[in-house]
Amino acid sequence: MTTLIIGNLYRDLTNKRSVVTLTWEDEPEKRLGLILPFDCAPENLKAETEKAVRALAKELETATIQGA
């Protein structure tokens, strides 16, 4: 099982969104940034982050990779 650690939460005032940064517990050089609702309250941070991670995982199931 992979454990992600919430590192930072940034508020983007211009675009009215929040960005959470996650790191892998066992591989701290791996990082992930996800967009959360702008009005995400600190007490809802974990739940909103879990929703964003699940949504990304679902999107990646059907992703295609382009490039060399």
Alpha helices in the chain (DSSP H): 45-61
pLDDT of 29 above 90:
yes
Through-space distance between the first and last CA atoms of the chain, rounded to whole angstroms: 32
Q: Structure tokens of 60? A: 């990646």
Burial 31-51 (b: 16+ CB within 10 A, else e): eeebebeeebeeeeeeebbee
pLDDT of 6 above 90:
yes
The per-residue pLDDT for 61 is 96
State the pTM of this model: 0.87
Chain center to CA of 18: 10
